[in-house]
Structure 1
Amino acid sequence: MSISRRDLLKLSGIAGATVFAPALVRAQELEKKEVTIAVGGQALIYYLPLSIANINGYFKDEGLDAKVVDFAGGSKALQAVVGGSADVVSGAFEHTITLQSKGQAYRTFVQQGRAPMIVLAVSKKTMPDYKSPADLKGKKIGVTAPGSSTNMMASFFLSQHGLKPADVSYIGVGAGAGAITAMRTGQIDAIANLDPVISTLVKEDAVTLIADTRTLKDTKQVFGGNMPSGCLYTSQSFIDANPNTVQALANAIVRADKWIQAASPDEIAKTVPEGYLLGDPDLYKLALKGNMEALSPDGMVPEDGPQTALNALAAFVPNFPKDKIDVSKVWTNDYVIKANKKYPHA
C-alpha cells in the first residue's frame, strides 16, 4: 500500500492536533486553585462585589478555592500581600501606584468601584460650630487605618483647603462598629469612612458631611477626574505566573459587578451576612441606593482614572516621585474585556 506525500502531511496534521489539544486544555487550567484574598473592611459596600462573588459561588464556578481574609484597613491588606501571606488584595486602586514608587510592580486587573465612596464628616458633638475645613486644624480624624485610602482622601481634601497632613491627627478606627463608637463617644472630631458606617452616623444626626465621593459628580469635583477605587490587584510576578487564575478572579468579580447592578437593595440585603447590616437592614438598603452609582457596572478601569489617582497621591504624599511613575504599568483591562465577553449579562 503506497501513501502519498499529501496523505502523510494530513496524517502528521492530525497527529499534531492530538498532541496540541491536551496542551490547549492545560493552558486553560488554573495554575493556582487555592487563592487567598486580603481585604480591609469586607462589610463595607465598597467591597460588595468581593462579598457577592464569594457568597454566590462565582469563585467556585471558575474553579477557584478562594479564601477571603479581612483586615482593619486597606493598608493592612496590602501588607499581607507584600509580606506573602495573601496572593491578591481587594483594595484601593492607588496602592498600586504607591507600591511602584517603592520599586514594587503591582497591577490592578478588575474594578469593583468607579468612585471612592469615602465621606469626610465632622462631629456635631465635638465640633458643633464647624464653619470651614480650617476648623479641623489640631483635631483628631478617624480613618479606617493610617495610610489607607480614607486617610488619603481626607488629606487630599484638607490640602485643597490649605491644611497639611501634620495639621491634624489621624487615628485608625476600622470600618465597622468601632468607627461608629469612636464618633459617638467623642474620641474623634471628624471621620473619613464609608457606608454603612457613614449612613449610620447620618441617621443618628451625629455628623455633618463636608466632602462626599459616593457620586461621580462629587468625585470629579474633589479629585478633578474619574477616580478608580475598589479593585483586585496583585504583583506583576503573580499575574505573569498565573494568568488563567487571574482571569478566573476577574470573571468572578465582573459577574458580581453585574449581579449587583441588576439586583434590588432588598435582594442584596438578604444575600449579605447579617453582620453587614449593623442591626439596621433599612439603613443598609438606603446606603446601597446612595452608593450604587459608585459601584462598577462592568469591572473596567476608566482611561483617565489612573492619572487622577496619581495626581491625588502626589498631592497627599510629601515628596512623592510623580515624574518617575509609569501609570500604564499599574492597571490593565485585558482580563476584564475577556470576562465581559464570557458574562455579557448579569
Structure 2
Amino acid sequence: MSLRPFRPQRAAAVAVLLAIALAAAAAPAHAEGSLRVAQQFGIAYLILDVVKDQKLVEKHGKEAGLDIKVEWAQISGASAMNEALLAGALDMVSAGVPPALVLWDRTRGKQNVKLVAALGSLPNYLLSNNPAVKTLDDFSAKDRIAVPAAGVGFQSRTLQIEAAKRYGKDNFKRFDDISISLPHPDATTALISGGLEVNAHFSSAPFYYQALARNPAVHKVISSYEILGGPATFNVLYTTQKFHDANPKTYKAFYAALAEAAAWIPAHKEEAAAIFIRQQSSKLPPDFVRKIIDDPENQFTVSPQQTQVYADKLHEIGVLQARAASWKEYFFEAAHANPGS
C-alpha cells in the first residue's frame, strides 16, 4: 500500500482556485446546465466518485431534457472549500458537518448556505504513535495532532465538543493549540514513519486503516462515533440559496445522481472499490478498499444521521449563534423526503 503525498502542485492548485474565486466574486451565476463541484480526499467521498465515474449527473440531466456540464475539483480542507463557494468559484462543495453548519449559521440572511445531502456515515479515528497517549487526557503540549483544517474542520470541531464535555465549556479549544493543518495523506505518512513532530492524526478512511496496518505503534485513542454516541454523518455537500433557486433542474439532477450512487454502492462493492481506485488515482490494493467498503461502521448514504447533535453541541459552546429546531432547517427541501436526524 502506498500513500499519495500532498504534492506542491496541489497546494498551487488550491491557490489558483482561490484566486479564480476572488476574480469571480462579481460574476453572474452559472446558467442551468453548468455545475462546479469540489470534493476532498478519501473513501468518504465514494458517492461522488461513483457519480463522476458513471456520469450520473449528465444522465439525470438528459432525462430532464437538459445537457449538464460538470466540472470537478479536488482540494483539501473546509476553509478552502468555503472561501471558494462564497466567492463564486464553486457551486457545490463538500466538507464535514461542523464547517458546513458554521457556514449555514454565518450566511443566514445573506448567501443562505444550506446542506444538500449527506455523503455517508463513517467514523474518524484519532490515532497516536506515542505510547504514552492512551486517552485524550494524556495529550500534552509536546504532542501534535494533524487535522485537515485546524480549529475549524470536522476533526477539530468534534474534539471541541468532547473537550467541552470533559473539561468544561470554557475549555472547548483545549486541543486547538496542539493541532496543525495537514492533509490526510501527509499526516498518514508522518504517523507511519514516526519520529516526526506530528505524532497524532484525527484520520478518516482509508487513511486510518493504512496507519494501523503499517505501524504497530499506531493505536486508536478515540473515534468520532464514541464522541457523538454512535454512527453519524461525516461529510456533506452544501451550496448557496442563489445557486439552488437559479438552477432547479441542475440541482434536481445532481441530487438524483447522488441518491442513485448511494443505492448502487451496496450492491456493487467490488465495482465501487475499482471506481474509488480509478477516480482518486489510489495505489491501494482492491481487496483492501473492498474491506473498507464492507466494514459495517461505514455506511454510504445521502440520509443525514445525527447532524442535529453537532448543531446542538456547537450552539452550546458558542460556535453556532443560531439554534436549529430541526435538521430540516439547514438542509434544502430535496433531502427532507428521506429519513434524517
Residue 219 of structure 2 is aligned to residue 208 of structure 1: yes
Alpha carbons of structure 1 residues 323 and 31: separation in structure 2 relative to 1, 3 Å? closer
Which of structures 1 and 2 has the bigger CA Rg? Answer: 1
The match for 2:156 is 151
What stretches of structure 2 of length at least 5 have no aligned partner?
A: 1-29, 62-67
Residue 244 of structure 2 is aligned to residue 235 of structure 1: no
Task: Give the stretch that moved more between structures: 88-97 or 68-77.
Answer: 88-97
CA distance in 1 between partners of 2:183 and 2:274 (Å): 24
The match for 2:188 is 180
Alpha carbons of structure 1 residues 46 and 207: separation in structure 2 relative to 1, 3 Å? same
Residue 121 of structure 2 is aligned to residue 121 of structure 1: no
Alpha carbons of structure 1 residues 231 and 131: separation in structure 2 relative to 1, 3 Å? closer
Q: Can you list the C-alpha shifts for 1:7-59, whole angstroms capped at 9, x where unaligned?
A: xxxxxxxxxxxxxxxxxxxxxxx952121112222xx1111100110001112
Task: Give the stretch that moved more between structures: 165-174 or 286-295.
Answer: 286-295
Q: Answer whether contact 2:123 2:297 (CA < 8 A) is retained.
A: no
Q: CA deviation at 1:321?
A: 4.3
Residue 253 of structure 2 is aligned to residue 244 of structure 1: no
The match for 1:24 is none
The match for 2:84 is 80
Alpha carbons of structure 1 residues 130 and 91: separation in structure 2 relative to 1, 3 Å? closer
State the number of aligned residues. Answer: 289
The match for 1:269 is 273
Residue 258 of structure 2 is aligned to residue 253 of structure 1: yes
CA distance in 2 between partners of 1:134 and 1:209 (Å): 14
CA distance in 1 between partners of 2:125 and 2:131 (Å): 18
Q: Answer whether contact 1:40 1:76 (CA < 8 A) is retained.
A: no
Alpha carbons of structure 1 residues 281 and 157: separation in structure 2 relative to 1, 3 Å? farther
Whichever residue aligns with residue 71 of structure 1, its letter is I
Write the mapping of 1:309-324 to structure 2, written as runs, cut at 5 A: 309-314=310-315, 319-324=318-323
What stretches of structure 1 of length at least 5 have no aligned partner?
A: 1-29, 214-218, 339-346
CA distance in 2 between partners of 1:276 and 1:154 (Å): 31
Residue 210 of structure 2 is aligned to residue 197 of structure 1: no
Determine which of 52, 57, 60 is the counterpart of 2:58: 60
Alpha carbons of structure 1 residues 211 and 240: separation in structure 2 relative to 1, 3 Å? same
Q: CA deviation at 1:155?
A: 3.1
The match for 2:332 is 332
Q: Can you list the C-alpha shifts for 1:300-324, whole angstroms capped at 9, x where unaligned?
A: 234xx34212123236xx5334455
Q: CA deviation at 1:192?
A: 0.6
Alpha carbons of structure 1 residues 109 and 132: separation in structure 2 relative to 1, 3 Å? closer
Calculate percent identity across the aligned residue pairs.
Answer: 19
Q: Answer whether contact 1:97 1:325 (CA < 8 A) is retained.
A: no
Alpha carbons of structure 1 residues 164 and 330: separation in structure 2 relative to 1, 3 Å? closer
